[in-house]
Structure 1
Amino acid sequence: MHFKQIIFDIDDTLIDFASTENFALHSLFSAHHWHLTADLQRRYNTYNQGLWRQLERGKITYNQLSEMVFSNFIRDNLNIEIDGNAIMNEYRSYFSETHKLLPGVKNTLDFAKKNGYKLTILSNGETYMQSHRLELAKIKDYFSLIVTSEEAGFSKPDPKIFDYFFGLTEISADETIFFGDGLQSDILGAKNYGFDCIWYNHRHRKNTLNLQPLVEVTTYPQLVKILKTNLSQR
């Protein structure tokens, strides 16, 4: 390994997605006096994840996902007709205010920055929301480049989002490594584009796609060890 640039995903890589989603969903349901049971929340998670997988496979667009998530889910589960885009915008307003970092993030970013790595972001999400969350978490200044799917017009793992990203950075894919939790979006995207990736599998998920990242880690200290090894090989 001889890499100079690290691309980070945001949700469930830097910022705890489960905590963020839980806060946003409860805030939304509370504001509308909808009763959110544990079972209903599990059904929402499954439904929402399924839509994101469709987006990653190119079967729906980001705008379609935004309109469908709550309009379909609330209709089918609570028998209430709503404006899907309006409710999604409200949900995202709650989502954008939550920014709990995963364990070890800050120390790892400190180490990487001090040792000369260029730190960047590539996220499937909205530009303002993701940038705002990084700012609230007090880690935005670590990153010299932040690219979102909204800005690029394409979502991971589509190669076009990587074309867009590398058009904005002076460091080539050969000198870059991707660090992310998403097997479909991050790992498959990086491998199909032809550069190395580290799967941050802190949720201990099964590798259902039989992909082989360069390394699989479950903690940030494990990533620091890899960065130290890379430094010694430069």
Structure 2
Amino acid sequence: MPQYKHLFFDLDHTLWDFERNSGATLAQLYTEFKLEQRGITAFEDFRVTYERHNEKFWERFRKGHIHRDELRWKRMWHTLLDFKIADNNLAHRLSAVYLERLPSQGKLMPFALEILDYCVAGNYQLHMITNGFEVTQWEKMRTSGIDHYFNKVITSESSNSMKPMPTIFAYAVEAAGASVAESLMIGDALEADILGAQGYGMDQVYYNPGKHAHEEKPTYEIDCLSRLKDIL
């Protein structure tokens, strides 16, 4: 087994529990903006619809089809449209409050803190590669109490690149003073994290807690962060 020295983690869905944190934020918006009175009769419908549009617009953003500002408000705009609410101002207000409050949620994935402590105790150098926005991602890490674990935090904004492009991995490895052979990428996104790292020549750990079926061949695959101990 290779002797890794530098571990590059993804943030959202890997360490930071995006689903639970986003759901808690959306629940606040649903209540405060009285969306039930606007015709969205069930919160769960609102949440699922938003998450579907969020995923779709993030995919378009990663491929360079839309700009950041479009991503931020159009996912909410299209969510409202699905409920026949054509209110541009409401979409912008919901988007602004969502982005303001989301990073203040601090729920982490199971065993996230335990595995970070384990890696630090093992003298690994920890880094972050995330497609999220610079200010937002730093606030997420500070709020959840994990910012101090990482030596280098590489965002798509700071690197002027984005996973799965090889340029962001090259930027991260150089910033960390590492080599590809001693580096390991750990993430939940098969295309962005795993295939992106593969394309650059970096070993990867596919964190797949949902045990989703796929035909790719990551270096390693785990369904719980605690299983990183079997690799490191």
With the length of structure 2 as denominator, give the TM-score of the two structures. Answer: 0.89
- 1:180 is displaced (CA, Å) by 0.5
CA RMSD of aligned residues (A): 1.8
- State the alpha-carbon separation in 1 of the partners of residues 157 and 33 from structure 2: 28
TM-score by length of 1: 0.88
Match of 2:6 in 1: 5
Equivalences for residues 57-96 of structure 1 within 5 A: 57-83=63-89, 84-96=91-103
How many angstroms does 1:85 deviate by? Answer: 5.0
CA contact (8 A) 1:75 1:82 kept: no
Whichever residue aligns with residue 183 of structure 1, its letter is L
Aligned residue number for residue 98 of structure 1: 105
In structure 2, the CA distance between the partners of 1:152 and 1:90, relative to structure 1 (3 Å rule), is farther
Corresponding residue for residue 169 of structure 1: 176
Q: Please, which runs of 5 or more residues in structure 2 have no aligned partner?
A: none
Structure 1 position 16 matched with structure 2 position 21: no
Distance 2:160 2:130 in 1: 12
Pick closer, same or farther for the CA change 1:185–1:46 going to 2, 3 Å.
Answer: same
- Residue in 2 that maps onto 1:54: 60
Partner-residue secondary structure (3-state), 1:168 = helix
Which letter does structure 2 place at the counterpart of 1:225?
Answer: D
| Cα displacement string for residues 77-104 of structure 1 (whole angstroms, at most 9, x for unaligned residues) | 2423224555323211121111111111
Number of the residue aligned with 1:123: 130
Q: Which runs of 5+ in 1 are unaligned?
A: 228-234
Q: Displacement, 1:196? A: 0.6
Q: Which deviations, in whole Å up to 9, do the C-alpha atoms of 1:58-117 show, x marking residues without a partner?
A: 333333312321123223424232245553232111211111111111121111111110
Amino-acid identity (%): 27
| 1-structure distance, mates of 2:45, 2:33 | 18
Q: Give the paired residue count.
A: 225
Specify the alignment match of 1:154 in structure 2: 161
Q: Which amino acid aligns with 2:184?
A: I
Structure 2 residue identity aligned to 1:51? F
1:222 is aligned with what amino acid?
R
Which residue pairs with 2:207 in the alignment?
200
